[in-house]
Structure 1
Amino acid sequence: MSGAFRPLVAAVALSAAASPLAAMDAPTLKPPPPGPAFLAQPDLDRLKKVKELVSKRQYTAARALAAEMTVETARSLGEWYYFDAEDPLVAIADADRFLDAHPEWPSALKIQTHV
């Protein structure tokens, strides 16, 4: 390479390094993880109480308390505690509705068999 081209090559290299493309961050391979999911304290307290009521076989109170939850997932988990506990007076229509909405949840076969 002749001496006349060296300054030109250096100038092109410097201008490329200072270009906006060079200043951009490299793309990341995956997005950042989502923020933490949480349950409000009142629903968490209700959920714990539902579990306690079901263990004491107080099914009517447990079912009513589960219905009061504001978060759908917590309400579903409260219902699952109820259905999994095998209330002898469980309504078939209610159990079917729950199983239709949550076919992959644990104990589905147990709930079906009980009803």
Structure 2
Amino acid sequence: MANNNSAHTHDHQYESHTKRIWSVFIILSIVTLVEVILGIIKPDFLMHTYFISLKLINWIFILLTIYKAYLITWAFMHMESEKKGLRRSVVWTAVFLIIYLIFILLTEGDYVYEVMNRGQVAWDF
């Protein structure tokens, strides 16, 4: 019986991802540091400027948080090495759900805010 090692040979080569992990860690730390500094300082310009019924500083926090979630998914959940179709299905679904969640939160939050300020508010369509 011949020993056929070709079926059991692995051409996988070990590749260290230490540099990649540290670079992602540093980027995430910098983004988090920016969020903390903005939360402590609360610049007047960002606190008193509104965009779609939300303070500009809140939009910055939302965008930075989405960026951090993207980077964690891309690097630590190994999405960068997946096939294009899988990446798109995961990312597009998440983007759609995040946009939908933001829309619902802003719409309902604005309605509750108006009710608390002016009393009953009727939506006449």
TM-score using structure 2 length: 0.28
TM-score using structure 1 length: 0.30
